[in-house]
Amino acid sequence: MSLVIGCDLDGVIWRGSEVIPGSVEAIAQLQNDGAIVVFITNNSSTTPSQYVEKLAGFGITTTAEMIITSALAAAHLASEHLDAGSTVLACAGPGVVEALTERGFAVHNDGPADAVVVGWHQSFDFERLRIAADCARSGALFIATNDDPTYPGAAGSLLPGNGSLVAAVATASGCTPFVAGKPHEAMARLVRMKVGPAGIMVGDRVSTDGAFAARLGWPFGLVLSGIAGTDRGELVADSGAQWIANDLQTLVPLLLKSDPAVAGS
Ligand SMILES: [Mg+2]
């Protein structure tokens, strides 16, 4: 069986629009070695085909099938609770709209609706907060694509993540969301469906990628090119990682040397 690598994007492959040096070569090394690389991201704003294009722009070859986003996990979660044709308010970006549409939901920009999905988007404002909170308070199924408080931007900056938007909607509505993305179960179900039960998770955030690896029962490779290990980021101690490396380029040779029994292949 091929080694399966679940690879996070933000903070592992890129920071914003800047590629992290060596990450493109590291993915090629994995693919040339026969590994199956599936990209697993909590960023819900972008569609899988847009991710394929962005990766191709940096020189990484993959297909939309190999991209698993928290938008897909949120739509999957919604479909477990609601019938196709149900109305969903998308307080989110194009990735969520496409994922919901593909599941047969009627996607709206205003309430009332059977569900409200909150995903990261830059046009979030007071009016969108008001509409989403009204919807949740009125009894709609409240789903958050993910609850990351921040994500890594260019030049070492930290930007507000979807957890910040979800917290506003939760506070204004008094409702608690179901969360779909890493490290939660909806995302884990999608990953198991797509690539099977065994693999290695690689990421830059202990609280999402590390916890997700633990949920999947996969070993965890932590890179320090994103959130973890920075002054403002998480502490690396107690990360639960089997491997810790400065970046993907340094990590990949360690993964390829790993004991197949550890990697679960
Ligand atoms: Mg990340």
Provide the domain limits for residue 253: 4-69+182-263
For the chain, how many structural domains are there in total? 2
Q: Do 88 and 175 sit in the same domain of this protein?
A: yes
Q: Are residues 98 and 130 in the same domain?
A: yes
Distance 204 CA to ligand 1 centre (A): 5
Q: Is 114 a catalytic residue?
A: no
Helix, strand, coil proportions of the chain in percent (round to 5)?
Answer: 40, 20, 40
Q: What is the pLDDT of residue 137?
A: 98
* Residue 10 appears among annotated catalytic residues: yes
- Same-domain pairing of 137 and 188: no
pLDDT of residue 264: 46
Q: What is the pLDDT of residue 179?
A: 98
Residues 59, 104, single domain; the answer is no
Taken in order 12, 188, 99, 132, the sign of the CA dihedral is negative
- Compute the distance from residue 85 Cα to the ligand 1 centre, in Å: 33
* Strand partners of residue 142: 116
Q: Is the peptide bond before 94 cis (omega within 30 degrees of 0)?
A: no
What would the two tokens of residue 166 be?
A: 């979800």
* Same domain membership, residue 151 and residue 191: no
Considering the domain architecture, whether residues 87 and 159 belong to the same structural domain is answered as yes
Q: Which of 154, 179, 204 is the last residue of a domain?
A: 179
Same-domain check for residues 62 and 124: no
User: Which of 179, 194, 228 is at the close of a domain?
Assistant: 179
So what's the pLDDT on residue 229?
A: 64
Structure tokens at 146: 């993910």
Same structural domain for residues 131 and 168? yes
**150, 208 contact by CB (below 8 A):** no
Which mean pLDDT values do the consecutive 10-residue runs of the chain (265 residues) have? 93 92 98 97 97 97 98 97 97 98 96 97 97 98 96 82 98 98 97 95 94 97 83 66 95 84 47
Rounded Cα distance between 79 and 93, Å, is 19
In this structure, is residue 121 part of a structural domain?
A: yes
Q: Supply the CATH number for residue 199's domain.
A: 3.40.50.1000
Ligand 1 centroid, distance to 151 Cα (angstroms)? 7
